[in-house]
Amino acid sequence: MARDAPRSLLLGCPLVQAMLSLNNVEVIYNDVILVLKGLSLKVEQGRIAALLGTNGAGKSTTLKAISGLLHPEDGEVTDGGVEFEGEQIDKLPAEDIVRRGIFQVMEGRRVFEHLTPQENLLAGAYTARAGGVDESLDRVYGYFPRLKERGASMAGFLSGGEQQMLAIGRALMAQPKLMLLDEPSLGLAPLLVQEIFEIVERINREQGTTILLVEQNATRALEIADYGYIMEGGRVVLEGTPAELQDNADVKEFYLGLTQVGQRKSYRDVKHYRRRKRWLS
């Protein structure tokens, strides 16, 4: 049944198909450490989904479970399943998953420091058809003209913002259907964060790339997302449209830094017992 769904989409059915779905996924590292405890989420085609949560909630692990990067870290999906376009992908190696159209932009940029920006982009096109590479390069330079200006200098000498642009550009080179973005705002100045988020939104709109965005910066992420999930302790504890999440009192206080009356407040003022509150304790 599920396999017939994309066809109905082609026939003009207004329903949006879930491109990616995780059903009760359990991930164990090194055979003992349970990191994801029955996580479920869906990402619909052409949308931006945000996955929010504090440090250690399991956000990065979720992305790696999708992209197959768990395997080299001794992690394993032990229960549940990851489905992409109606097919089970959690047992596939990372290279096959990239070829199917999922590209993870890893946390911390991870550019190839001793390669030039252009060589970094070419490495991103590893799985792409040889014919379309020049076209892809032009497209990436269209989004990030600054990368072209840096010419032959090694990518390790780029600024943090430029490296993040390069990391996203590298993903674009593979022309993925689904882009997994892990903390693109990490360690960047607010103005740059603004710029990166605007470009992510443009890529979604202009290239039709579906995006799953992991962020600590909840305010910004909810601004561009169509749907949001909040994770804690390896599970999704709350989900909804950005408007619904922004209205939730707990989300306001713990993720957006707002009090009930809606004014911005210092995290220091949050009372100790409130700060320790968790949905699942």
3-class secondary structure, 224: helix
Residues 43-102 that bind another protein (CB under 8 A): 67, 69, 72, 94-95, 97-99
CB-neighbour burial class of residue 191 (10 A; exposed 0-12, middle 13-18, buried 19+): exposed
Measured from the CB of residue 128, what is the shortest distance to another protein in angstroms? 9
CB nearer to another protein: pick between 31 and 269: 31
Given 7, 126, 190, 279, the residue binding another protein (CB under 8 A): 126
Residues 211-240 that bind another protein (CB under 8 A): none
CB nearer to another protein: pick between 17 and 104: 104
Residues 143-182 that bind another protein (CB under 8 A): 154, 156-157, 160, 170-171, 174
CB nearer to another protein: pick between 71 and 265: 71
Given 12, 55, 114, 152, the residue binding another protein (CB under 8 A): 114
Residue 167 CB contacts under 8 Å (≥ 6 apart), including other chains: 105, 106, 109, 110, 111, 184
Verify binding: residue 130, another protein, rule CB under 8 A: yes
CB-neighbour burial class of residue 59 (10 A; exposed 0-12, middle 13-18, buried 19+): buried
Q: d(Cα 219, Cα 6) in Å, to the nearest integer?
A: 33
Q: d(Cα 249, Cα 236) in Å, to the nearest integer?
A: 17
Please name the amino acid found at residue 196. I
Question: Interface residues with another protein (CB under 8 A)?
Answer: 67, 69, 72, 94-95, 97-99, 103-104, 106, 110-115, 119-120, 122-124, 126-127, 130, 154, 156-157, 160, 170-171, 174
